Amino acid sequence: MIISKTLNKTQEEIIKSISIKGETQISTRLDPDEIKEENKIGEGTFGIVYIGEFRGNQVAIKKMKQIDKDEDKMKEFEKEVMMLDKFRSEYIIQFYGAVFIPNKICMITEYAKYGSIHDLINKRTNTEIPNKIRIKFMIDGAKGISYLHSNGILHRDIKPDNFLVITLDDNIGVNCKLTDFGSSRNINMMMTNMTFTKRIGTPKYMAPEILNREHYKMESDIYSYSITMLQIITFQDHFLKKYTIFHGILQIQSQQVNDHQ
């Protein structure tokens, strides 16, 4: 509010108030001082994941390993940040923002208490997770993929590791959410000039046409999700290896991937 004071012809003071209303745009470029890092909960080739706190919210902090010195990895990080920021849905892991300061580069997302579906399969027995919850996982996952596809985006790395379990309560609306958009691309770009690319996808979830160096398309994501659903239904991480035909396919897939890298 701005207050203005003036004098009229009779030297009387006139006070006028002007109300000003404004809004600031919320930035996803975060101040590292607002992020409180707690316990380490995971580690991979990309970096280390910590549980922490951001503005009163329990979050996952994905810290990158020397990413600022690798141009390709930095571009991939920026692309994933852009995807998470642009595409928001209740079936996509909530994105709070990222830090781009050298040596402090990290991404802040919603914390998934139970880890990924892959983690759950490895830590829980078949009888511990009822069919009703497993069906919810599959429905939530399908809705997350459908949301991306309806917005012209292909995920390209669909697998149990990339579905994070938020809750095991079947009374809650959403039980699991899709994550990891480092490999995601626009459908039009994929159809016109992209074929098989190294480091995209995970061999046992890849569609045959991708291994045949054909264009990546929507159906390729769906194929990967069908294999993911198979594992959710059986609740066995190594289900495919028990079947000779599938085991043979996996060996061929792995060899083809190595040949093209």
Is 157 marked active-site? Answer: yes
Give pLDDT tens digits for 151-204: 999 998 999 999 999 999 999 999 999 998 766 676 654 444 444 444 467 888
Residue 245 CA, distance from chain mean position: 32
**What's residue 148's pLDDT?**
94
Average pLDDT, the chain: 82
The residue with greater pLDDT, 65 or 139, is: 139
What is the pLDDT, as a whole number, of residue 68?
64
Min mean pLDDT across 9-23, 40-54, 171-185, 189-203 is at 189-203
Closest CA to 249 of 188, 207, 196: 207
Does residue 243 or residue 31 have the better pLDDT?
A: 31
Q: How far apart are CA 7 and CA 14, in angstroms?
A: 6
Do residues 170 and 233 lie in contact, with contact meaning Cβ atoms separated by under 8 Å?
no
Helix axes 131-150, 218-234, angle to 10 degrees: 170
Determine phi and psi for 8, rounding to 5 degrees: -90, -170
If you count them, how many residues does the chain have? 261
> In CATH terms, is domain 117-260 a member of 1.10.3720.10?
no
Residues 6+ apart with CB under 8 A from 33: none
How many Å from the N-terminal Cα to the C-terminal Cα in the chain?
62
Say yes or no: do domains 32-110 and 117-260 share a fold.
no
pLDDT higher than threshold 80 for residue 69: no
Q: Active site residue: 157, 161, 180, 221, which one?
A: 157
Dist. CA 99–CA 94, nearest whole Å: 16
Q: Is 63 annotated as a binding residue?
A: yes
Residues 78-135 pLDDT 10s: 888 888 898 899 999 999 999 999 889 999 999 999 999 999 999 998 889 999 999 9
Ranges of each domain in the chain:
32-110, 117-260
117-129: b (≥16 Cβ within 10 Å) or e: bbbbbeeeeeeeb
State which of 39-48, 68-77, 100-109, 250-259 shows the largest mean pLDDT: 100-109
Of 21-35, 203-217, 223-237, the one with minimum mean pLDDT is 21-35
User: Which is the CATH superfamily of the domain at 32-110?
Assistant: Phosphorylase Kinase; domain 1 (3.30.200.20)
Per-residue pLDDT, averaged over 74-79, amounts to: 85
Q: What would the two tokens of residue 150 be?
A: 């309806």
244: amino acid identity, one letter: T
Is residue 67 over pLDDT 90? Answer: no
